[in-house]
């Protein structure tokens, strides 16, 4: 069986456990850095990190037999040129946790992304979350990294991993189990199909202007900010009766000195029942995107974090 179909849950879980027990480590980098490494590196893999990290072509003899058998069973080996193979998934690590996600390059519209944003997102939400959380919903969960990392750090009564992409949910289910986290997987467009009343919503949504409309990249709207604003709007509506908190990590296009994401969020946030902090975490991400025509006039894209608390009787803080 080859990687032409969906990966098998139990078999992929067995592969992940084998990698963990073998001490596997791989840090996901930006697409530009990844492409640059492949252009400099030999064309064929020499070990497991080349295969499951760098997405390089490999021969069967490159891997120990048990590892190759597990990859075959998980349905993630794709035939490549000259009798070689290529893994249809990658595996990256964050601390002692492992996460399966899409292979490089991520051209598919339903690709599941994991990269430097994932690391920044986790650091940001862990830095601002202390103590038990009743119900956490990870909106647009992708690989599940945010919700899983949070549940590994603090006590979470119920964790919901929600995404509009069935492929993302399938991998998030494996990743949750692989990292010993219990989670409910919900196919949902933002919060639309989430039945729970969350106490905390976390999100790292797509935030780029992507002409191809790839789910994992396109934030919608003129400059990719529409989805982030919509998440804030839906969270505010869900929190209207009981209160709650939103931690939103996103990208903010800066046009002539104005943060366009912040401008779009202000109508939601400037209410008497809302207080918030808005922090710029990195002033310059995805700089290569700015050469595209849709970003004409945009000076930079910043990585930002919105920490907003919703509840009656609170004074606004900007």
Task: Give pLDDT tens digits for 35-86.
Answer: 999 999 878 999 999 999 999 999 999 999 999 999 999 999 999 988 899 9
Question: How does 194-209 read in b/e, with b if 16+ C-beta sit within 10 Å?
Answer: bebebbbbbbbbbbbb
Q: What is the pLDDT at residue 107?
A: 84
Q: Alpha-carbon distance 142 to 206, whole Å?
A: 10
> What's the pTM value of the predicted model, to 2 decimals?
0.94
Q: What value does the CA radius of gyration of the chain take, rounded to a whole number of Å?
A: 20
pLDDT (tens digit per residue) in 4-27: 467 799 999 999 999 999 999 999
Q: Say whether 286 sits in a helix, a strand or coil.
A: coil
Domains of the chain in start order, with CATH, are 9-102 (no CATH), 116-310 (3.40.50.150)
Instruction: Provide the 10 A C-beta neighbour count for residue 279.
Output: 12
Find out whether 289 and 301 touch, Cβ atoms under 8 Å.
Answer: yes
Report the pLDDT averaged over residues 103-115: 92
Average pLDDT value over all residues in the chain: 93
Q: Alpha-carbon distance 160 to 89, whole Å?
A: 24
Dump strand ranges (E) for the chain.
Answer: 77-79, 85-87, 89-94, 97-102, 133-139, 156-163, 184-187, 200-203, 244-255, 258-259, 274-282, 298-310
pLDDT at 177 over 50: yes
């Amino acid at each position: 069986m080859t990687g032409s179909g969906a990966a098998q849950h139990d078999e992929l879980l067995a592969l992940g456990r084998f990698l963990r027990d073998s001490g596997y480590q791989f840090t996901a980098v930006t697409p530009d850095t990844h492409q640059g490494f492949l252009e400099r590196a030999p064309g064929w893999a020499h070990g497991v990190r080349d295969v499951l990290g760098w997405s390089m072509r490999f021969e069967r003899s490159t891997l120990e037999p048990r590892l190759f058998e597990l990859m075959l069973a998980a349905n993630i080996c794709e035939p490549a040129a000259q009798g070689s193979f290529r893994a249809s998934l990658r595996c990256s690590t964050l601390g002692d946790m492992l996460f399966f996600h899409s292979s490089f390059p991520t051209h598919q519209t339903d690709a599941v992304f994991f990269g430097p944003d994932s690391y920044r997102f986790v650091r940001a939400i862990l830095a601002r979350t202390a103590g038990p959380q009743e119900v956490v919903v990870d909106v647009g969960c992708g690989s599940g990294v945010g919700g899983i990392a949070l549940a590994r750090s603090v006590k979470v009564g119920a964790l919901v991993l929600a995404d509009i992409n069935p492929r993302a949910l399938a991998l998030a289910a494996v990743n949750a189990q692989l990292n010993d986290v219990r989670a409910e997987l919900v196919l949902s467009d933002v919060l639309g199909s989430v039945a729970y009343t969350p106490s905390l919503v976390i999100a790292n949504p797509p935030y780029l202007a992507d002409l191809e409309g790839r789910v994992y990249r396109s934030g919608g709207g003129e400059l990719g900010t529409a989805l982030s604003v919509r998440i804030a709007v839906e969270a505010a509506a869900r929190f209207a009766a009981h209160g709650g908190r939103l931690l939103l990590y996103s990208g903010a296009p800066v046009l002539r000195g104005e943060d366009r994401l912040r401008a779009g969020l202000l109508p939601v946030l400037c209410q008497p029942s809302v207080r918030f902090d808005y922090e710029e975490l990195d002033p310059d991400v995805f700089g290569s995107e700015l050469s595209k025509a849709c970003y004409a006039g945009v000076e930079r894209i910043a990585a930002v974090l919105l920490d907003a608390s919703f509840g009656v009787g609170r004074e606004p803080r900007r």
